[in-house]
Amino acid sequence: MVCLFRDRLEVLKSALGNKLPEALDPLKLAYCAGVLHDLGKASGYYLEEFKKNYRRQSKKELTFPLHEHVVGVVLEWLALRESNEHLKAYYDLLAKVVSRHHAAQPGRHPAKVLLSEDAEKNAEVMARAIKGFTNPRVKTFLNKLEGVCRNSNYCGQCSKVLEVMKAVKGTEFENVAAYVGTYAKSYTSLDSLSGYPNVDKAVLHRLVTSITGALIVADNLVADYERRTSSDEVGRLYVEYWKVELADELKQCTGTKP
């Protein structure tokens, strides 16, 4: 994602100037959001559900309902436990970005997930998926992601996130799952948990919405590249537009996933 939107993220960073602490550098946040946004799919829950319901499925396809909220809620949980204001803001803003990269789809916005009439049912799905992080294969996957981060200038903070997530014991993940509903207020709001006194709310909102937008575009372009295009005609039209708009960047990033 940073490869595709480097120039635009640099413009955003320049526009925000000294209004943000170093911990919230737009390029570093964007890189880590790209690394973490689909991590929820690694939960063993989804494969188990697929196996259990295989015979009843007319379309034999592995799906990942609410996967963005699985890692989003874990990040929010880390933010709520963190005493360092810089890390608290970092985890919290990452949670807001990651949890919104499918927000345009029906029922997927954080507010629809945790503040709607389906909130209890959604919380149950998320709780089961979060518990799926106790699977040893997830820890192995986190190790691989750390390897990716070690080769990047933008992923230092993200490596710390992965280290913390690897250190969480199974019983702690169960606690995250049990109290997922208590995160609703901070999780669904664009306001930061951080106590930064000199950072304007509008600046944080702009940071979250800009990086979320870039993530949505990059995610759709990767899906198109891997021939996982949506059946939604409007969505396909946007993908074709982005492929023209970002043609030069796509050429420059050949061999590197956005």
Q: Assign 228 to helix, strand or coil.
A: coil
Q: Assign 82 to helix, strand or coil.
A: coil
pLDDT over threshold 80, residue 169: no
Tokens, residue 184: 């609703």
Q: Mean pLDDT, to the nearest integer, of 69-76? A: 88
Amino acid at 220: N
**List of residues 6+ apart from 89 with CB closer than 8 A:** 21, 23, 24, 79, 192, 193, 194, 196
The whole model's pTM is what?
0.87
d(CA 206, CA 196): 16
**List of residues 6+ apart from 144 with CB closer than 8 A:** none
pLDDT digits (tens, 9 = 90+) for 26-58: 988 998 999 899 988 888 888 888 888 766 666
Average pLDDT, the chain: 82
CB 106 within 8 A of CB 209: no
Q: Give the distance from CA 51 to its chain's centroid.
A: 26
pLDDT digits (tens, 9 = 90+) for 79-99: 888 888 888 888 889 999 999
pLDDT over threshold 50, residue 257: no
What pLDDT is attached to residue 212?
94
- Which has the closest alpha carbon to 157: 21, 54, 58? 21
pLDDT digits (tens, 9 = 90+) for 178-220: 778 777 888 888 887 665 656 677 888 888 999 999 999 988 8
